Structure 1
């Protein structure tokens, strides 16, 4: 099917709302057909040497299932397909993967498209960066992120890598079709494909674990929070998704950039005291303070309680919460792992930090001085000049970028004349926000959460992942949320621990 073929009537974000596939929908109104039946015999047996999370090489024999569409009405030939890799032997020992967890490893970054169309083996999902606002060629990894598809395979799990649409995509007429909520619709459709093929696709389809980083971490968290929500039904029907559940068992999210309509305020709360960007540009303090006030109101409205009995999280105590719950423990873990001479040298260089009784302590202000500079301007996500990637993500088929907060619309510098946000945006913002679904106590959500980010990551606010963890914890979910000391954006410093956690929560033994 060529680009734009059979897509139907374009709606917000360029998403089609009229499917033309054969077949009838189930309770969700999605489409399933023979085209979505997984052929378990259509594989190539490959042998690769793959390093595990500890760096030890292993000979892995696996079955590789070439790219196949996971919907019956794909928007193009490149993005809405997935590949499957199933371990057969590891170091000569047979592996029975019939009950293994299925790791759904997305390659999303910056809400751009990703593809497995050219994949000839495991771990080859490609993030298509190109020109971040206009699209184009070029592929690359997610800021050096470890390859969880390969690590899952060498651990004996089944690896599924889905391609997804993204904000740079346009058809031959110039109409955009990869903006919100395309990426989450695609991931849900991929999960539905996997579950629709229970008994045919290798692995335990009741133990799907999602992974992703940055924007990929955001949509991984969203996939976990929004499982089986009927709010996506019309979009899933439009693409011809399988008639099956899209709920996942566990969620892995690294530095998730999410809760976008509140992300500007959260960013200024976290980094507002850093008045200079990494580029050397000064940050408008009037804007920063206004956004901090917005954050205080939003945080109060959540009525979230922190982990470890901290109490209700507010703008007044959140810095102390981050210090006690994440930052100081992260520094402690890092310093405790050093040799005595290495630790002595680090402490001599970083005198703001006190090491006593095997614990690291410091103040919030000293921590910010240690980080020194922020990456983004104010606002960080809904830019006044519509230049942020998130402005593009909330565009439409015919509008490249839009404001999605009232504050930035009011302060627009591009000549936008509207006084109110466009009417479709409230729904799109909900559909892209895991906090919305956690706030609604969505019954189909993941019950297991692994969330990580670096303490020096100024691409986002620490509040975003901490709120996500607190919201899931408040619902009684199993939450593992930690920070990596002195690490930046897209870091994954403990992939081995993650894979062990997957086996534990899934109840899997090889």
Structure 2
């Protein structure tokens, strides 16, 4: 560690004594510029509190720098903030695990769900989904933890919607740029930023990793006064990413159309789909093969061309691998699954249709279209006024909008080119292997084996495209056994992988 950096990081003891409560310095703009309020992008190393959090039988001590504005011209000061948490050992010249203050990776954890706005998180938070908060775990391993807030579909200021697409990904990119801008004066290295998110947050984590430095986002970043630095990252962690929204409805019906007429043990239909809904399902199912085949993907197993004809068998491979891993590493009992064939301790086959019926017993499938939905206005909330994705693609003055040609045609409306451009900016698939873009070299993708929130072809295609185009050095993919729609599970496994790629 250089003396220059030591002086910047180690602040006098009285800095903490004088700050008995978390400091909110985002509310103190630097000056005015052409009628705009201008916030400083300089990291304020002397504005922190010292905090602790319990982890198992240990107490983790860290410095907390909270409510940092990461752009000069925010449009929503409630959400365009980030928190930084640093192990106290780094201010004492010590190392933590494999890392020092200069080499510590930055664990960038977003708490975005449902494409809704998210406030900056905290190591003290208790997760509503029952999974562990990864922030204390990351601190215990020596990572600098950063939690960015971000605008989302429901963000509103003075009657204007501020968080419609592509606001969330623009905010995350701006947060990355802030970290790079301040890399010389902050502990940790911005050359090793690991983004983590779940569901919509997983999709945004994937998009952050796929779209590094793409010029299409530049006008949005410039308007916010984001730092003029790169925004590519080192690694992406994406749990159950709700991505490829342009084609998610097609993928969903291609997979789940076959269970539309499933019945319970008493012979009663599980779903009360109307004839019109079943017709929509069939139409969408028929559209997916053309899209999937256009991707030109090749199997990561044997290099064979992937088409709709062998996609089912390809997905089965990952389901079987997940079951085998659960048996081998956790001793999971598979004897209750009549649709699974096991011979000499090896899973040799599954009845795919019966497996999908098993998946949808955990949580019923969505009525079609699963995502771009603005049809029947007689249903109860939240579907009456569209899906969360419909809200994502509204405008400053319009809360919801259809965003696919299919749904637009059903409603007799036209999708503008401006909206199509915004939809494009939210899909990681559009940027993997794209010329002139810096894809993250390391990826960790998980989708639960009983997660029906999006269809299995979506994460499988993302993984396969990453592998096919050579956009990554390491892609760790798994259909995590018996996991529903959730994230940040198996933290030991996750951080073992992160540690291995950060060496």
Give distance in 1, aligned partners of 2:74 and 2:410: 38
8 Å CA contact 1:101, 1:503 repeated in 2: no
**Number of equivalences:** 448
Written as runs of structure 1 = structure 2, the 5 A alignment for 1:310-321 is 310-321=303-314
> Per-residue deviation at 1:65?
0.9
CA shift in 2, pair 1:190/1:123, >3 Å:
farther
Give distance in 2, aligned partners of 1:249 and 1:141: 26
- Alignment of 1:48 with 2:53, yes or no, is yes
8 Å CA contact 1:327, 1:455 repeated in 2: yes
> Per-residue deviation at 1:332?
1.2
8 Å CA contact 2:260, 2:271 repeated in 1: no
Which digits, 9 at most, give the CA deviation of each residue in 1:346-397, with x for residues without a partner?
Answer: 41x2222122132212121221232244431110000142511101100001
Give distance in 2, aligned partners of 1:168 and 1:19: 27
- Alignment of 1:377 with 2:363, yes or no, is no
- Alignment of 1:303 with 2:291, yes or no, is no
Query: Is the partner of 1:480 in helix, strand or coil?
Result: strand
> Per-residue deviation at 1:257?
0.3
RMSD over aligned CA atoms reads: 2.6
Written as runs of structure 1 = structure 2, the 5 A alignment for 1:184-203 is 184-203=169-188
Equivalent residue in structure 1 for 2:342, among 355, 364, 367: 355
Report the counterpart of residue 272 of structure 2 in structure 1: 281
> Per-residue deviation at 1:321?
0.1
Equivalent residue in structure 2 for 1:333, among 325, 335, 357: 325
CA shift in 2, pair 1:154/1:483, >3 Å:
same
Query: Is the partner of 1:272 in helix, strand or coil?
Result: helix
Written as runs of structure 1 = structure 2, the 5 A alignment for 1:384-403 is 384-385=374-375, 387-403=386-402
Give distance in 2, aligned partners of 1:309 and 1:330: 18
Report the counterpart of residue 428 of structure 1 in structure 2: 422
Structure 1: which 5+ runs fail to align? 9-17, 23-32, 52-56, 125-139
8 Å CA contact 2:104, 2:143 repeated in 1: yes
Equivalent residue in structure 1 for 2:465, among 468, 471, 477: 471
Report the counterpart of residue 154 of structure 2 in structure 1: 168
CA shift in 2, pair 1:213/1:372, >3 Å:
closer
The structure having more radius of gyration, on CA atoms, is 2
Structure 2: which 5+ runs fail to align? 1-25, 263-268, 376-384
- Alignment of 1:101 with 2:105, yes or no, is yes
RCO comparison, higher one (Cα < 8 Å, 6+): 1
User: What TM-score comes out, normalization by structure 2 length?
Assistant: 0.84
Give distance in 2, aligned partners of 1:113 and 1:7: 27
Query: Is the partner of 1:309 in helix, strand or coil?
Result: coil
